[in-house]
Protein backbone atom coordinates (compact mmCIF):
# COMPACT_ATOMS: atom_id res chain seq x y z
CA UNK A 1 0.00 0.00 0.00
CA UNK A 2 1.25 3.49 -0.88
CA UNK A 3 0.15 6.31 1.43
CA UNK A 4 0.85 10.04 1.19
CA UNK A 5 0.25 12.16 4.28
CA UNK A 6 -0.18 15.78 3.26
CA UNK A 7 0.89 18.81 5.26
CA UNK A 8 1.01 17.23 8.71
CA UNK A 9 2.62 19.06 11.61
CA UNK A 10 5.14 16.66 13.14
CA UNK A 11 5.30 16.44 16.93
CA UNK A 12 8.50 14.65 17.93
CA UNK A 13 10.36 16.51 20.71
CA UNK A 14 13.35 14.16 20.34
CA UNK A 15 13.80 15.09 16.67
CA UNK A 16 15.02 18.68 16.36
CA UNK A 17 15.09 18.54 12.58
CA UNK A 18 11.39 17.71 12.18
CA UNK A 19 9.71 18.76 15.43
CA UNK A 20 6.90 21.31 14.88
CA UNK A 21 7.52 21.33 11.12
CA UNK A 22 4.82 20.75 8.49
CA UNK A 23 5.79 17.96 6.15
CA UNK A 24 4.44 15.54 3.57
CA UNK A 25 5.27 11.92 4.34
CA UNK A 26 5.30 9.19 1.69
CA UNK A 27 4.96 5.57 2.77
CA UNK A 28 5.40 2.60 0.43
CA UNK A 29 4.73 -0.97 1.53
CA UNK A 30 4.91 0.04 5.16
CA UNK A 31 8.24 1.91 4.86
CA UNK A 32 8.73 5.68 5.13
CA UNK A 33 10.45 6.55 1.84
CA UNK A 34 10.27 10.36 1.88
CA UNK A 35 9.69 13.24 4.32
CA UNK A 36 9.60 16.59 2.56
CA UNK A 37 7.84 19.99 2.55
CA UNK A 38 6.07 18.93 -0.65
CA UNK A 39 5.68 15.52 -2.29
CA UNK A 40 3.75 15.11 -5.52
CA UNK A 41 0.86 12.66 -5.48
CA UNK A 42 1.37 9.50 -7.52
CA UNK A 43 -1.37 7.46 -9.18
CA UNK A 44 -2.73 4.71 -6.94
CA UNK A 45 -1.54 6.41 -3.75
CA UNK A 46 -3.93 6.83 -0.82
CA UNK A 47 -3.84 10.49 0.25
CA UNK A 48 -4.40 11.36 3.90
CA UNK A 49 -5.19 14.98 4.68
CA UNK A 50 -7.30 16.72 7.30
CA UNK A 51 -7.83 20.04 9.01
CA UNK A 52 -5.16 20.75 11.65
CA UNK A 53 -3.50 17.41 10.88
CA UNK A 54 -0.74 16.43 13.30
CA UNK A 55 1.58 13.44 13.21
CA UNK A 56 3.73 11.65 15.78
CA UNK A 57 5.38 8.32 16.37
CA UNK A 58 2.84 5.67 17.27
CA UNK A 59 1.30 5.79 20.73
CA UNK A 60 1.91 3.12 23.36
CA UNK A 61 -0.21 1.99 26.34
CA UNK A 62 1.32 -0.12 29.11
CA UNK A 63 -1.92 -1.52 30.49
CA UNK A 64 -5.07 -2.41 28.56
CA UNK A 65 -7.59 -5.18 29.24
CA UNK A 66 -9.93 -6.70 26.68
CA UNK A 67 -11.74 -9.91 27.64
CA UNK A 68 -10.99 -12.67 25.17
CA UNK A 69 -10.75 -15.52 26.02
CA UNK A 70 -13.61 -16.00 28.43
CA UNK A 71 -15.19 -12.54 28.47
CA UNK A 72 -15.74 -11.88 24.78
CA UNK A 73 -18.97 -10.03 25.60
CA UNK A 74 -16.79 -7.30 27.11
CA UNK A 75 -14.31 -7.06 24.25
CA UNK A 76 -12.74 -9.36 21.70
CA UNK A 77 -9.08 -9.04 20.74
CA UNK A 78 -10.05 -8.10 17.17
CA UNK A 79 -12.41 -5.28 18.15
CA UNK A 80 -10.15 -4.19 20.97
CA UNK A 81 -7.20 -3.75 18.63
CA UNK A 82 -9.37 -1.89 16.12
CA UNK A 83 -10.60 0.37 18.92
CA UNK A 84 -7.02 0.98 20.06
CA UNK A 85 -6.00 1.84 16.49
CA UNK A 86 -8.86 4.33 16.12
CA UNK A 87 -7.81 5.78 19.48
CA UNK A 88 -4.31 6.40 18.13
CA UNK A 89 -2.44 3.45 19.62
CA UNK A 90 -0.02 1.40 17.54
CA UNK A 91 1.22 -0.74 20.45
CA UNK A 92 -0.51 -1.98 23.59
CA UNK A 93 0.44 -4.21 26.51
CA UNK A 94 -2.44 -6.58 27.27
CA UNK A 95 -3.35 -7.18 30.91
CA UNK A 96 -4.14 -10.80 31.89
CA UNK A 97 -7.79 -10.13 32.70
CA UNK A 98 -9.27 -13.22 31.01
CA UNK A 99 -10.74 -16.62 31.83
CA UNK A 100 -8.64 -18.64 31.97
CA UNK A 101 -5.76 -16.30 32.70
CA UNK A 102 -2.58 -16.68 30.61
CA UNK A 103 -0.22 -18.60 32.89
CA UNK A 104 1.51 -20.89 30.36
CA UNK A 105 3.52 -20.40 27.19
CA UNK A 106 0.67 -21.81 25.08
CA UNK A 107 -1.66 -19.12 26.45
CA UNK A 108 0.80 -16.42 25.39
CA UNK A 109 1.10 -17.96 21.93
CA UNK A 110 -2.71 -18.01 21.64
CA UNK A 111 -2.95 -14.29 22.44
CA UNK A 112 -0.20 -13.37 20.00
CA UNK A 113 -1.74 -15.47 17.24
CA UNK A 114 -5.14 -13.83 17.77
CA UNK A 115 -3.48 -10.45 17.29
CA UNK A 116 -1.72 -11.35 14.03
CA UNK A 117 -2.63 -9.24 11.02
CA UNK A 118 -3.88 -6.19 12.91
CA UNK A 119 -2.59 -2.66 12.53
CA UNK A 120 -2.13 -2.29 16.29
CA UNK A 121 0.50 -4.52 17.90
CA UNK A 122 -0.38 -6.53 21.01
CA UNK A 123 2.18 -7.53 23.64
CA UNK A 124 0.74 -9.86 26.29
CA UNK A 125 1.49 -10.06 29.99
CA UNK A 126 1.44 -13.46 31.65
CA UNK A 127 0.31 -13.95 35.22
CA UNK A 128 2.96 -13.99 37.94
CA UNK A 129 1.36 -16.99 39.64
CA UNK A 130 -0.50 -20.06 38.44
CA UNK A 131 -4.17 -19.24 37.79
CA UNK A 132 -3.37 -15.78 39.18
CA UNK A 133 -4.06 -17.28 42.61
CA UNK A 134 -1.03 -15.82 44.38
CA UNK A 135 0.22 -19.19 45.58
CA UNK A 136 2.82 -20.63 43.17
CA UNK A 137 4.89 -18.97 40.46
CA UNK A 138 3.68 -19.58 36.91
CA UNK A 139 5.85 -20.70 33.98
CA UNK A 140 7.65 -17.38 33.83
CA UNK A 141 10.68 -18.36 31.76
CA UNK A 142 8.61 -20.28 29.21
CA UNK A 143 6.12 -17.41 28.91
CA UNK A 144 8.97 -14.94 28.42
CA UNK A 145 10.32 -17.07 25.57
CA UNK A 146 6.82 -17.24 24.06
CA UNK A 147 6.53 -13.43 24.01
CA UNK A 148 5.27 -12.30 27.41
CA UNK A 149 6.67 -8.84 28.23
CA UNK A 150 6.01 -9.04 31.98
CA UNK A 151 4.21 -10.91 34.73
CA UNK A 152 1.16 -9.55 36.55
CA UNK A 153 -1.71 -10.93 38.58
CA UNK A 154 -4.04 -8.24 37.28
CA UNK A 155 -5.40 -5.99 40.06
CA UNK A 156 -4.42 -8.61 42.66
CA UNK A 157 -1.54 -7.83 45.02
CA UNK A 158 1.23 -10.29 45.75
CA UNK A 159 0.20 -10.90 49.34
CA UNK A 160 2.98 -13.40 50.07
CA UNK A 161 6.16 -11.34 50.50
CA UNK A 162 8.36 -14.39 50.04
CA UNK A 163 6.68 -15.15 46.72
CA UNK A 164 7.52 -11.66 45.45
CA UNK A 165 11.07 -12.10 46.72
CA UNK A 166 11.48 -15.39 44.85
CA UNK A 167 9.85 -13.97 41.72
CA UNK A 168 12.24 -11.00 41.63
CA UNK A 169 15.23 -13.26 42.17
CA UNK A 170 14.20 -15.84 39.58
CA UNK A 171 13.37 -13.37 36.80
CA UNK A 172 16.81 -11.78 37.00
CA UNK A 173 18.12 -14.79 35.07
CA UNK A 174 16.27 -13.67 31.94
CA UNK A 175 15.48 -9.99 32.52
CA UNK A 176 11.82 -10.50 33.36
CA UNK A 177 9.66 -7.61 34.58
CA UNK A 178 7.60 -8.32 37.68
CA UNK A 179 4.39 -6.36 38.37
CA UNK A 180 3.08 -5.87 41.90
CA UNK A 181 -0.31 -4.25 42.32
CA UNK A 182 -0.14 -1.76 45.23
CA UNK A 183 -2.84 -2.86 47.66
CA UNK A 184 -2.65 -4.30 51.17
CA UNK A 185 -5.80 -6.42 51.28
CA UNK A 186 -5.89 -6.60 55.08
CA UNK A 187 -6.50 -2.83 55.14
CA UNK A 188 -8.46 -2.58 51.90
CA UNK A 189 -11.10 -4.97 53.32
CA UNK A 190 -13.50 -4.78 50.36
CA UNK A 191 -13.57 -1.02 50.23
CA UNK A 192 -15.21 0.66 47.23
CA UNK A 193 -14.04 4.30 47.37
CA UNK A 194 -11.26 6.46 48.75
CA UNK A 195 -11.47 6.60 52.54
CA UNK A 196 -12.15 10.20 53.47
CA UNK A 197 -14.82 12.85 53.87
CA UNK A 198 -16.69 11.82 50.71
CA UNK A 199 -16.89 8.09 51.49
CA UNK A 200 -17.97 8.88 55.05
CA UNK A 201 -20.66 11.26 53.84
CA UNK A 202 -21.97 8.74 51.31
CA UNK A 203 -21.74 5.73 53.62
CA UNK A 204 -19.35 3.85 51.34
CA UNK A 205 -16.67 1.49 52.62
CA UNK A 206 -13.33 3.24 52.31
CA UNK A 207 -9.99 2.22 50.83
CA UNK A 208 -7.36 4.12 52.83
CA UNK A 209 -4.39 5.63 51.02
CA UNK A 210 -2.33 3.65 53.52
CA UNK A 211 -3.52 0.39 51.93
CA UNK A 212 -1.59 1.36 48.80
CA UNK A 213 1.38 2.96 50.49
CA UNK A 214 2.15 0.07 52.84
CA UNK A 215 2.30 -2.29 49.89
CA UNK A 216 4.54 0.08 47.91
CA UNK A 217 6.89 0.42 50.88
CA UNK A 218 7.02 -3.36 51.36
CA UNK A 219 7.66 -4.04 47.69
CA UNK A 220 10.46 -1.48 47.50
CA UNK A 221 12.06 -2.98 50.60
CA UNK A 222 11.98 -6.43 49.00
CA UNK A 223 13.34 -5.04 45.72
CA UNK A 224 16.24 -3.42 47.56
CA UNK A 225 17.08 -6.81 49.06
CA UNK A 226 16.67 -8.94 45.95
CA UNK A 227 17.45 -6.75 42.96
CA UNK A 228 15.49 -7.41 39.79
CA UNK A 229 13.01 -5.33 37.80
CA UNK A 230 9.80 -4.20 39.48
CA UNK A 231 6.86 -2.33 38.01
CA UNK A 232 4.15 -0.85 40.24
CA UNK A 233 1.06 -0.21 38.11
CA UNK A 234 -1.49 2.57 38.62
CA UNK A 235 -0.41 4.33 41.79
CA UNK A 236 -2.88 6.88 43.14
CA UNK A 237 -1.56 8.69 46.23
CA UNK A 238 0.91 11.46 47.03
CA UNK A 239 2.83 9.31 49.50
CA UNK A 240 3.23 6.52 46.92
CA UNK A 241 4.97 9.10 44.74
CA UNK A 242 7.35 9.99 47.58
CA UNK A 243 8.16 6.36 48.32
CA UNK A 244 8.93 5.56 44.68
CA UNK A 245 11.02 8.72 44.30
CA UNK A 246 13.08 7.64 47.31
CA UNK A 247 13.48 4.15 45.84
CA UNK A 248 14.73 5.56 42.56
CA UNK A 249 17.24 7.75 44.37
CA UNK A 250 18.64 4.57 45.92
CA UNK A 251 19.16 3.19 42.43
CA UNK A 252 16.39 0.59 42.57
CA UNK A 253 15.18 -0.71 39.20
CA UNK A 254 11.58 0.31 39.74
CA UNK A 255 9.04 1.92 37.43
CA UNK A 256 5.43 2.94 37.96
CA UNK A 257 2.40 4.16 36.07
CA UNK A 258 -0.72 6.18 36.78
CA UNK A 259 -4.17 5.83 35.24
CA UNK A 260 -5.39 8.84 33.29
CA UNK A 261 -8.61 9.03 35.30
CA UNK A 262 -6.62 9.38 38.55
CA UNK A 263 -5.06 12.51 37.07
CA UNK A 264 -8.36 14.00 35.93
CA UNK A 265 -11.05 13.17 38.50
CA UNK A 266 -11.27 13.19 42.30
CA UNK A 267 -13.63 11.34 44.62
CA UNK A 268 -15.98 14.36 44.53
CA UNK A 269 -17.61 12.84 41.44
CA UNK A 270 -19.03 9.99 43.55
CA UNK A 271 -21.81 12.19 44.93
CA UNK A 272 -24.38 10.62 42.56
CA UNK A 273 -23.25 7.01 43.24
CA UNK A 274 -22.48 6.62 39.53
CA UNK A 275 -20.73 3.26 39.14
CA UNK A 276 -18.83 4.47 36.08
CA UNK A 277 -16.51 6.12 38.58
CA UNK A 278 -15.83 2.93 40.53
CA UNK A 279 -12.24 1.99 39.76
CA UNK A 280 -9.31 0.35 41.51
CA UNK A 281 -7.30 2.09 42.79
CA UNK A 282 -10.10 4.51 43.62
CA UNK A 283 -10.32 8.15 42.66
CA UNK A 284 -8.51 10.06 45.39
CA UNK A 285 -8.34 13.67 46.64
CA UNK A 286 -7.32 16.89 44.94
CA UNK A 287 -3.99 16.91 46.76
CA UNK A 288 -3.26 13.41 45.48
CA UNK A 289 -4.17 14.41 41.93
CA UNK A 290 -1.86 17.43 42.06
CA UNK A 291 1.00 15.29 43.40
CA UNK A 292 0.47 12.72 40.64
CA UNK A 293 0.52 15.39 37.92
CA UNK A 294 3.75 16.85 39.35
CA UNK A 295 5.26 13.36 39.43
CA UNK A 296 4.37 12.80 35.78
CA UNK A 297 6.06 16.06 34.85
CA UNK A 298 9.26 15.39 36.82
CA UNK A 299 9.54 11.77 35.69
CA UNK A 300 8.95 10.03 39.01
CA UNK A 301 5.93 8.41 37.35
CA UNK A 302 7.35 6.70 34.29
CA UNK A 303 4.24 6.49 32.14
CA UNK A 304 0.54 7.12 31.96
CA UNK A 305 -1.96 4.40 31.06
CA UNK A 306 -5.61 4.38 30.09
CA UNK A 307 -6.11 1.35 32.39
CA UNK A 308 -8.80 0.47 29.84
CA UNK A 309 -11.01 -2.18 31.46
CA UNK A 310 -14.24 -3.05 29.62
CA UNK A 311 -17.14 -4.32 31.74
CA UNK A 312 -20.56 -5.45 30.53
CA UNK A 313 -23.59 -3.45 31.55
CA UNK A 314 -24.85 -6.06 34.03
CA UNK A 315 -21.75 -5.51 36.15
CA UNK A 316 -22.09 -1.74 36.22
CA UNK A 317 -25.82 -1.01 36.46
CA UNK A 318 -26.11 -2.29 40.00
CA UNK A 319 -25.66 -0.82 43.48
CA UNK A 320 -22.31 0.90 43.94
CA UNK A 321 -21.12 -1.67 46.49
CA UNK A 322 -21.82 -4.54 44.07
CA UNK A 323 -20.56 -2.96 40.85
CA UNK A 324 -17.37 -4.13 39.15
CA UNK A 325 -14.30 -1.93 39.11
CA UNK A 326 -13.11 -0.42 35.85
CA UNK A 327 -13.60 2.13 33.10
CA UNK A 328 -12.72 2.19 29.41
CA UNK A 329 -10.39 4.93 28.23
CA UNK A 330 -8.74 4.20 24.88
CA UNK A 331 -10.95 6.57 22.90
CA UNK A 332 -10.46 9.65 25.06
CA UNK A 333 -6.89 9.42 26.38
CA UNK A 334 -5.45 12.11 24.13
CA UNK A 335 -8.33 14.51 24.77
CA UNK A 336 -7.77 14.24 28.54
CA UNK A 337 -3.98 14.43 28.59
CA UNK A 338 -4.00 17.34 26.16
CA UNK A 339 -5.92 19.36 28.77
CA UNK A 340 -3.60 18.44 31.62
CA UNK A 341 -0.26 18.95 29.85
CA UNK A 342 1.20 20.90 26.94
CA UNK A 343 1.20 19.17 23.57
CA UNK A 344 4.87 18.16 23.59
CA UNK A 345 4.53 16.57 27.02
CA UNK A 346 1.31 14.83 26.03
CA UNK A 347 2.90 13.24 22.98
CA UNK A 348 5.98 12.24 24.97
CA UNK A 349 3.73 10.52 27.50
CA UNK A 350 1.86 8.70 24.75
CA UNK A 351 5.00 7.53 22.95
CA UNK A 352 7.33 6.67 25.84
CA UNK A 353 7.59 3.44 27.82
CA UNK A 354 8.32 0.71 25.31
CA UNK A 355 11.90 0.19 26.45
CA UNK A 356 10.76 -0.90 29.91
CA UNK A 357 9.07 -3.87 28.27
CA UNK A 358 12.00 -4.69 26.01
CA UNK A 359 10.30 -3.22 22.94
CA UNK A 360 11.86 -1.01 20.28
CA UNK A 361 10.56 2.52 19.84
CA UNK A 362 9.54 3.60 16.33
CA UNK A 363 11.50 6.29 14.52
CA UNK A 364 10.12 8.93 12.21
CA UNK A 365 12.88 8.65 9.60
CA UNK A 366 13.21 7.71 5.97
CA UNK A 367 13.90 4.00 5.58
CA UNK A 368 12.15 3.08 8.85
CA UNK A 369 8.90 1.17 9.26
CA UNK A 370 5.92 3.52 9.41
CA UNK A 371 4.46 3.41 12.90
CA UNK A 372 2.56 6.67 13.11
CA UNK A 373 -0.37 8.28 14.88
CA UNK A 374 -2.48 11.00 13.26
CA UNK A 375 -4.43 13.48 15.36
CA UNK A 376 -6.06 16.89 15.63
CA UNK A 377 -4.63 18.76 18.62
CA UNK A 378 -7.21 21.52 18.88
CA UNK A 379 -10.68 20.09 18.25
CA UNK A 380 -12.94 20.55 21.26
CA UNK A 381 -16.00 18.38 21.72
CA UNK A 382 -18.19 16.69 24.32
CA UNK A 383 -17.35 12.99 24.59
CA UNK A 384 -20.44 10.83 24.11
CA UNK A 385 -21.57 7.37 23.00
CA UNK A 386 -20.87 7.99 19.32
CA UNK A 387 -17.16 8.35 20.12
CA UNK A 388 -16.97 4.89 21.72
CA UNK A 389 -15.81 2.02 19.52
CA UNK A 390 -15.44 -0.46 22.38
CA UNK A 391 -18.04 -3.19 22.80
CA UNK A 392 -18.46 -2.14 26.43
CA UNK A 393 -19.58 1.41 27.12
CA UNK A 394 -18.51 1.82 30.77
CA UNK A 395 -16.69 5.13 30.33
CA UNK A 396 -16.49 7.58 33.20
CA UNK A 397 -15.60 10.28 30.66
CA UNK A 398 -19.03 10.42 29.01
CA UNK A 399 -20.21 14.02 29.04
CA UNK A 400 -16.70 15.42 29.52
CA UNK A 401 -15.33 18.23 27.39
CA UNK A 402 -12.23 17.02 25.56
CA UNK A 403 -9.55 18.92 23.67
CA UNK A 404 -7.94 17.02 20.83
CA UNK A 405 -8.92 13.88 18.96
CA UNK A 406 -7.00 10.91 17.60
CA UNK A 407 -7.73 10.33 13.91
CA UNK A 408 -6.10 6.91 13.57
CA UNK A 409 -2.83 5.16 12.81
CA UNK A 410 -0.58 3.93 10.03
CA UNK A 411 1.19 0.77 11.12
CA UNK A 412 2.00 -2.71 9.80
CA UNK A 413 1.32 -1.46 6.26
CA UNK A 414 -2.25 -0.63 7.21
CA UNK A 415 -4.07 2.68 7.46
CA UNK A 416 -6.85 2.93 10.06
CA UNK A 417 -8.44 6.36 9.75
Residues acting as catalytic residues: 307
Asked if 36 and 27 count as a contact pair (C-beta separation under 8 A), the reply is no
Contact (CB, 8 A) for 338 and 403: yes
Of 108, 103, 58, nearest in space to 85 by CA: 58
The residues pairing with 124 across neighbouring beta strands, listed in sequence order, are 94
Contacts of 71 (CB under 8 A, 6+ apart): 97, 98, 99, 312
Q: Give bridge partners of residue 92 from the DSSP assignment.
A: 61, 122
Of residues 263, 309, 378, the one with CA closest to residue 92? 309
Chain centre to alpha carbon of residue 37: 34
* CB-CB contact of 177 with 150 (8 Å): yes
b/e 38-69 (16+ beta carbons within 10 angstroms → b): ebeeeeebeebebeebbbbbbbbbbbbbbbbb
Amino acid sequence: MNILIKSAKIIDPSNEELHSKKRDVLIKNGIIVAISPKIEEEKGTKVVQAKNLHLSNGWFDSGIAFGEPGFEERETIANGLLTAAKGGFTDIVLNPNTHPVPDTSSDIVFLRNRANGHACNLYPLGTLTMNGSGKDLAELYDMKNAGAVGFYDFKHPVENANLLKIGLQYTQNFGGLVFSFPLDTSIYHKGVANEGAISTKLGLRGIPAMAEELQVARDLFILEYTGGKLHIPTISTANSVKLIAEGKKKGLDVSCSVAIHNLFYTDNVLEEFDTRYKVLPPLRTKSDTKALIRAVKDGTIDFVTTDHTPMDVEQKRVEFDNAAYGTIGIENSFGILNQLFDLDTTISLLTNGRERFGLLSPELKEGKNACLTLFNSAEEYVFNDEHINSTSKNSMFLGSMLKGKALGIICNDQCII
